[in-house]
Amino acid sequence: MTPSLLTKERKLGIYRKMLLCRMFEDRVNSLFLQGRMPGTIHQAQGQEACAVGVCEALRDGDMLTSTHRPHEHAVARGIPVRFLMAELFAKITGCCHGKGGSMHMGDADFGMLPAIAIVGGGIPLAAGYALSFKYLKKPNIAVCFFGDGAVNEGIFHETVNMAAIWDLPVLFICENNKYGASTLIDSVMKVKTVSARASAYGIPGSTIDGNDVVSVYEATLEAGERARSGQGPTLLELETYRFAGHSRSDPGHYRPKEEVAEWKAKDPITRFETRYLSDGLLTNEIIESYRASVEQELNDAVEFAEASPSPLPEECLADVYVE
Amino acid sequence: MSTLSNVVTKPEVEGRKLSIVEALREALQEEMRRDERVILIGEDIGIKGGFGGAFTVTLGLSDEFGSERVIDTPISEAGFTGIAVGAALGGLRPVADVQYADFLFLAMDQLANHAAKLRYMSGGKLKVPMVMRAPVGATTRGSQHAQSLESYFMHVPGLKIACPSNPYDAKGLLKTAIRMDDPVLFFEHKLLYGSKGSRKESGGLEVFGSVPEGEYLLPFGEAKVVRPGRDITIVANLLMVHKSMLAARTLSEQGIEAEIVDVRTLAPFDWQTVFESVGRTGRLVIVHEDTLTGGWGAEVAARVADSCIGYLQGPIRRVTAPDTPVPFAPVMENFYVPSVERIVATAKEVCR
């Protein structure tokens, strides 16, 4: 791996973005518990290094697909949090005009399709986008996030195989957080790593420390360069952990307390702070000022969302067809 | 079935005669020449020395457009359908091809959850301009290469559906489908493909129709009265249009003049033409090869009952396949597929 080319400014930007992801999720959790938003939510606290590390390696025009756990992907991709918050509040100003909600958060204008909440469903969409990039000779890549649960879906196999034989500019990024809902990955997969499957398709695969944002960024950048230069897809497995349960109603009793504690000790944000406080990039003052500015950004987003109008009930009839 | 072979939908225009296969191929060729974003994707569609798809529709197109635009896939229906959806989102206009409509079940998630819903879920920001071509119809291949699946897709808001019965409609509707910004299911009947080429279906009809050279487009949502009649309305699609036409001859000999409506597209559906016809005749029979329960005929019956009850002079009847899988044995298959005799008998009952 080439040494990191991240400038000081980029690193600070990455740090602030991870804070925004985490604090967005925490704020959403608290709003949800107060009963201020409808629906359900799947939260990603603990996985910030995956979302931010990958998105930091993307360019304008690249396209991201996501899953039923998309909040941090959307924040990291740069969709303004006010549009995300408004979508969660089911408002007309939301990124999907109130027709998507938590599980379909996304906005193609910002380089992220509405998230796909069918497990594995976004994988062929990303490959198809990549086919269009290749065909139209655009310098872009498509990137799909999916969880460890998705790698046992048939669509994963079909799509990775086709992307491989056609050298499509697509990255398959598995956020392996160990559990598909309550099911431990080790109990549903015989090989030890998801990335081991890459060899079955004749493409590169590697397992990355998904709680180290710089490692994630560098691996994505390298795989992205490979894809952009016509050498085809890569399967990246990012080892990580979600601090929360699968969804709002899940207390996570299937996970040993020691395991949760072990992963909380590897919190990607704390790790970043420790590492860069010691080398002088970060100071406690910077951390405090970033937290304050993120807090303010989220206050604005909530204010914007709450002040926004709801869609008219009969708007449910629109947007089924173009013509 | 030989008695059917001389029944050809009345030509729209005089001129050269094409089979449906030739008409579809010409539509693809013209659209690919017109717009380089149009690509074909499916199994065995472009292989040199191959078949040009299961029924030769794409034969020769890879010679002109190359393997970059006529993309042969592994046997991965879900995968290539999902890739077609993604490519459509990315600005291409894919025409995907499953060899038999039965295989659409493999790709149901991609069609029903993604293609049909992404525009809606995005609040109207996205469009999915793709076509999925799918051959239907029982042709002594047993239960898994035979189903008529139109009704499944009519139940999915966000999809459009075409089901042409003749070469003129096939070409005009396919060209329109390719230019549409919505996902389209395009159903073709195996027995209507015509007999030219290496894949002649036994029992297939010699359906040749006049197809003008050069450009024309047919709109979705416009049914066609293919035979006027004062006594009873028969609404049908695909092969059943031809059987209904033949039934109308027999009925006419017995003093009953049937009006035949070819629906041409199921979504959008031209309710007005059906309502107006029933308003004139006061009687309705619906004929489809799809099974009875929950078939599209049930929707037509419900809508007509809702809108035309004051005009009806008899019960609405459906002539359809029974609620069983498609059998193999020809004697059973002939029993299964709606016959001219059943259409005649049902129409006479309604007119009694």
pLDDT of residue B200: 62
Quote the CA–CA distance of B94 and B83 in Å, as a whole number.
9
Q: Which domain holds residue A136?
A: 8-305
pLDDT, average across residues A308-314: 97
pLDDT of residue B11: 46
pLDDT at B295 exceeding the cut of 60: yes
pLDDT of residue B7: 46
pLDDT of residue B8: 45
Asked if residue B167 has a cis previous peptide bond (ω within 30° of 0), the answer is no
Domain count within chain A:
1
Of A106, A161, A320, the CB nearest to B74: A161
Q: Which of B80, B103, B120, B153 to mutate to test the interface with A (most CBs of A within 10 A)?
A: B120
Q: What stretch of H or E contains B320? A: strand B317-321
Residue B1's pLDDT band (cuts 50, 70, 90): very low
Cross-chain residue pair A135–B39, CB shorter than 8 Å:
yes
Angle among Cα B176, B216, B239 to the nearest 5 degrees reads: 65
Q: Determine which of A175-184, A287-296, B134-143, B207-216 has the lowest per-residue pLDDT on average.
A: B207-216
- Catalytic site positions of B: 145
- Do B167 and B72 belong to one domain? yes
Does any domain span residue A117?
yes
- Do B165 and B247 belong to one domain? no
Q: What is the mean pLDDT of chain A?
A: 96
Residues of A in contact with B68 (CB under 8 A): 135
Token readout for A49 is: 């290094």
Q: Determine which of B178-187, B188-197, B214-223 has the lowest per-residue pLDDT on average.
A: B188-197
Residue B198's pLDDT band (cuts 50, 70, 90): low
CA distance A156 to chain B (A): 8
Residue A248's pLDDT band (cuts 50, 70, 90): confident
Token readout for A131 is: 């086919």
Chain A and chain B share a number of CB contacts under 8 A equal to: 146
pLDDT, average across residues A296-301: 98
pLDDT of residue A250: 87
Closest CA to A243 of A193, A177, A191: A177
Quote the CA–CA distance of B214 and B204 in Å, as a whole number.
27
In single-letter form, the type of residue at position A160 comes to V
Cross-chain residue pair B121–A100, CB shorter than 8 Å:
yes
Angle among Cα A203, A206, A209 to the nearest 5 degrees reads: 160
Q: Which of B36, B119, B121, B184 to mutate to test the interface with A (most CBs of A within 10 A)?
A: B121
Residue A323's pLDDT band (cuts 50, 70, 90): confident
Q: Provide the CATH number for the domain around residue A50.
A: 3.40.50.970
Closest CA to B232 of B169, B307, B152, B315: B315
pLDDT, average across residues B140-153: 96
Q: Which residue has the tokens 């998309």?
A: A70
pLDDT, average across residues A273-280: 95
Q: Which domain holds residue B267?
A: 224-351
Instruction: Please give the C-alpha separations between residue B103 and each of A123, A182, B20, B75, B100, in angstroms, as whole numbers.
Output: 20, 33, 21, 11, 6
DSSP character at residue A114: P
Q: What is the mean pLDDT of chain B?
A: 94
Q: Which of A67, A79, A84, A132 to mutate to test the interface with B (most CBs of B within 10 A)?
A: A132
Does any domain span residue A310?
no
Residue B74 touches partner A, C-beta closer than 8 Å: yes
Query: Comparing B197 with A266, which gets the higher pLDDT?
Result: A266
CB proximity list for B302: less than 8 A, separation 6 or greater: none
Q: Closest chain A residue to B159 measured between Cα atoms? A: A321
Give the alpha-carbon dihedral of B288, B13, B55, B97, to 10 degrees. Answer: -80
Q: Provide the CATH number for the domain around residue B28.
A: 3.40.50.970
Does any domain span residue B276?
yes
Does any domain span residue A1?
no
Q: Which of A158, A171, A315, A317 to mutate to test the interface with B (most CBs of B within 10 A)?
A: A158
CB proximity list for A92: less than 8 A, separation 6 or greater: A86, A98, A308, A309, A310, A311, A315
ipTM: 0.96
Q: Which residue has the tokens 């449910």?
A: A316
Cross-chain residue pair B85–A128, CB shorter than 8 Å:
yes
pLDDT of residue B197: 53
Domain count within chain B:
2
B228-270 pLDDT per residue, tens: 999 999 999 999 999 999 999 999 999 999 999 999 999 999 9
Q: Closest chain B residue to A158 measured between Cα atoms? A: B79
The answer to whether the CB of A127 falls within 8 A of the CB of A171 is: no
B5-52 pLDDT per residue, tens: 444 444 455 679 999 999 999 999 999 999 999 999 999 999 999 999
pLDDT of residue A4: 61
Cross-chain residue pair A125–B92, CB shorter than 8 Å:
no
pLDDT of residue B2: 35
pLDDT of residue B199: 57
Quote the CA–CA distance of B186 and A216 in Å, as a whole number.
44
Residue B221 touches partner A, C-beta closer than 8 Å: no
Does any domain span residue B6?
no
- Do B187 and B282 belong to one domain? no
B302-336 pLDDT per residue, tens: 999 999 999 999 999 999 999 999 999 999 999 99
Of B39, B78, B120, the CB nearest to A158: B78
Cross-chain residue pair A133–B127, CB shorter than 8 Å:
no
pLDDT of residue B4: 54
Does any domain span residue B7?
no
Does any domain span residue A28?
yes
pLDDT of residue A305: 98
Cross-chain residue pair B86–A107, CB shorter than 8 Å:
no
Of B89, B91, B157, the CB nearest to A125: B89
Give the domain-ending residue among B159, B176, B210. B210
Of A63, A155, A319, the CB nearest to B119: A319
Does any domain span residue B301?
yes
Cross-chain residue pair B157–A108, CB shorter than 8 Å:
no
B71-118 pLDDT per residue, tens: 999 999 999 999 999 999 999 999 999 999 999 999 999 999 999 999
Does any domain span residue B47?
yes
pLDDT at A1 exceeding the cut of 50: no
CA distance B184 to chain A (A): 11
Expressed in percent and rounded to 5, the helix, strand and coil fractions of chain B are 40, 20, 45
Cβ neighbours of B83 (radius 10 Å): 34
Of A96, A121, A162, the CB nearest to B114: A121
Cross-chain residue pair B89–A108, CB shorter than 8 Å:
yes
Cross-chain residue pair B82–A124, CB shorter than 8 Å:
yes
Does any domain span residue B180?
yes
Q: Closest chain A residue to B74 measured between Cα atoms? A: A162
Query: Comparing B6 with B63, which gets the higher pLDDT?
Result: B63
pLDDT of residue B339: 97
- Do B115 and B261 belong to one domain? no
Does any domain span residue A200?
yes
Closest CA to A228 of A58, A55, A77: A58
Quote the CA–CA distance of A291 and A68 in Å, as a whole number.
27
Of A128, A136, A323, the CB nearest to B86: A128
Q: What DSSP string runs through A185-201?
A: GGGT-SSS-SGGGHHHH
What residues 148-187 of chain B have any CB closer than 8 A to a CB of chain A? 157-158, 160, 180-182
Cross-chain residue pair B86–A116, CB shorter than 8 Å:
no
pLDDT of residue B206: 75
Q: Provide the CATH number for the domain around residue B284.
A: 3.40.50.920
Closest CA to B62 of B77, B74, B75, B49: B49
